[in-house]
Amino acid sequence: MLGEATLSEKEADAYVDQYLNLIGSIERAMGRWKPLGAGRTSGSMDWGHAPRINVSVKATALSCLASPMDYEGSVAAILRRLRLICRRVREVNGFLCLDMETYRYKEIILESTDA
């Protein structure tokens, strides 16, 4: 699922809903999968140590108004939605990767990980 240019808050909310639905679908399907490396390791993680669910998010897709000109507002808007996704990823013992995208948004995205 790609979130390139988000043009409205409604669209940003829809991206969050899509991520949450996708994580739920993968969680349900995961019960039918054997972990990778299952013959060589024990437990429910791939290779005995890697989360089986990996989610990559384009952070700027979570706010239509993300801009270095409104640093604090951009961080707050992204965080509001990112926390929902992050909470769900933690519930399924998954891994969340934030796509750094372009240098223009680097500081906003880094600040979003510190909050």
Domain boundaries, the chain: 9-114
Cα(first)–Cα(last) distance of the chain, in Å? 25
pLDDT score, position 115: 56
pLDDT of residue 4: 64
pLDDT, tens digit only, all 115 positions of the chain: 665 678 899 999 999 999 999 999 999 998 888 778 766 655 677 777 888 889 999 888 888 888 888 889 888 998 999 999 999 999 999 999 988 777 777 888 888 876 5
Predicted local confidence at residue 88, as pLDDT: 96
**Cβ-proximal residues to 69 (8 Å cutoff; 6+ apart), any chain:** none
Output the pLDDT for position 91.
94
Q: Which of 73, 57, 78 is nearest to 4 (CA)?
A: 57
pTM of the model: 0.84
